[in-house]
A and B are shown apart, each in its own frame.
Chain A
Amino acid sequence: MQARKPSGGALVLAVIPFAAMCFSVSLWDRVEPMLFGIPFNLFWLISWIVLSSLCMRVAYQMEITRNKKNGDPG
């Protein structure tokens, strides 16, 4: 009853947002420099919301291509 394993590429693309938004917190949790009037930590998180969305978009394409190759419409 096991699910098919996700591709390695998709997994790497998922680890990137975790590294950027979670584990590295002590590197970016500061107020200066303020960018566009927003403190650095808040600006960092807002940017990574957009970048994470892009990462998952690419992961989506990779899974789709792989599933098509295996003849499975998913």
Chain B
Amino acid sequence: MSPSAVSMTTTCVIVAIGVTTGILAGARRKMDLEQWTVGGRGFGAVLIFLLMAGEVYTTFAFLGASGWAYSRGGPTLYVMAYLTLAYVVSFFILPQIWEMGRKHGMQTQADFFSIRYGNKYLAGFVCIVGIASFVPYLQLQLTGLGMIVSIASFDGIGRTPAMVLSVVLLAAFVFASGIRAVAWVSVVKDVLMVFAAVAIGIGIPYTYFGGIGPMFVALAHAHPAHLTMPGATTNLGHTWYISTVLLTSLGFYMWPHAFGSAFTAKSGNTLRRNAAVMPLYSLTLAFILFAGFATVLVLPGLPNGDLSLLTVVRTSFPPWFLGVVGGAGALTAMVPASIFILTAATLFSKNLYRPLFAPAMTDDQIAKLARVMVVVLGLISLCLAIYSSSTLVSLLLTGYAGVTQFFPGVVLGLYWKRVTMVAVFAGMIAGVATSIVLMTGHWDPLFGWSAGFVALCLNFMITALLSLLAPRGAKSSHTPEASLVTKVLE
């Protein structure tokens, strides 16, 4: 067999195994809305770990982190810090959200806002910002998938056919098995991904330099400034690092799918234990960074940093291994993409369409509409990915800046009795608007500070100030509407 046939076959077999696992995951279970979106709230420590890890290690971790190590150097270290700190933050919010979710039957992030603040327009706004933030993230996954499959198959499979096929497959398993499919496909993907990352991270430095140590010595000698901040950039220094790590670690669990994964747990303690275990999983990222740094010397001058990891693997490893990387990479894009689509479809049907346009819909009808939305959203993201513009990265950062604006409403909603609906709504609007203005006006970073972080600070200040100004007791957070919503949901 020719090298391209070997790698293409390996990739296809791996994807087929992943998709079959996903479709079988929900077999013999009745897929009602509760089972489809939150897995019947029965996930134990292992499945939760796999689900969350599956959501974390997206194509950005695979291609983006190594791409940044290659093209920017030192600033890429923020990835290792923010993931760990995101789990530290999760210890104080996820178990509490889970508990509230169980008491009030919440399935989505917008349910939390709707029930805690008793206002369907606030919940609707959260939905819109959440769905809008997903779009560029989804687009990124599909574009990454196209790159991975086309390089891994020696250009035997084009980018567009790869993206079309993957959307059809992921829509099939999400349609059939919902969140259970996502968790089980993660199992296949994570095993392969860890294997590939360690093999690449150790293999490349050994092949070209005789070890990781000699590789770093050579790199420090050739490019003394590359390994520290601001590396190859001019404006990504320590202020940027601190503000970006804060923004992304606080914002991480504000992504609607990450927030929603809390509801799948069996108990709050499952989530607490998970917060202690998850950081260890981000050690895998170190290997991906090793490969990215090594590529600076092995293949200098690549026009697109995001392709550096795949290109160096193709020139250094046998075809079957390239096929494994291709298969793992394809699943790495498909798992997050499927959960984004699942979450966005549920949010749209349950928290935007029903409360605002069709209050009489039953849960079964919602589940049907959500499945239709899976297909619709799959098609939309596919079109965007095929005709994508070059501003993906800036769109993605706008997405992060967007979802992080939920943080004050969530954390104050959990721990501060006096916070009011109006204050949260006003703070959130100000935060989202500030992010959009700063980012579209190319003021990011603003005097060295990450723009999303500046917006978050403003948001926090407005929320706290307006809450303190509201007359005590008059605007209790337990509005009659809140209890009404609770009753309807129960």
Contacts and interface: CB of A to CB of B under 8 A. Distances in A.
Given A57-B276, A59-B91, A49 B96 contact: no
A69 interface: no
Nearest to B225: A31
Interface in A37-52: 37-39, 41-42, 45-46, 48-50, 52
B238 A22 contact: no
Interface of A: 1-6, 10-11, 14, 17-18, 21-23, 25-26, 29-31, 34, 36-39, 41-42, 45-46, 48-50, 52-53, 55-57, 59-60, 63-64, 73-74
A45 B329 CA distance: 26
A3 B96 contact: yes
B77 A42 contact: yes
Contacts of B272: 59-60, 63-64, 74
Given A25-B238, A74-B268, A37 B216 contact: yes
A3 B84 CA distance: 24
For the complex of A and B, the 9 pairs showing the least CB-CB separation, nearest first, are A37-B213, A3-B96, A56-B276, A57-B276, A21-B81, A53-B279, A3-B414, A45-B80, A22-B245
Identify whether the interface residues of A are mostly helix, strand, loop, or mixed. Answer: helix
Interface stretch (B119-127, B171-179, B191-199, B282-290): B282-290
B276 A41 contact: no
Residues of B in contact with A, size category: 35 or more
Identify whether the interface residues of B are mostly helix, strand, loop, or mixed. Answer: helix
Interface in B115-148: 115-116
Contacts of B214: 37
B84 A60 contact: no
Contact of A53 (B220, B224, B242, B280): B280
A8 to B, nearest CB: 12
A1 B283 contact: no
B88 A29 contact: no
Contact of B242 (A3, A23, A39, A52): A23
B316 interface: no
Interface in B328-362: none
A64 to B, nearest CB: 7
Among B224, B228, B267, B276, find the residue whose CB has the most chain A CB atoms closer than 10 A. B276
Interface in B200-232: 211-214, 216-217, 220, 224, 227-229
Nearest to B278: A53
A37 B212 contact: yes
A39 B81 contact: no
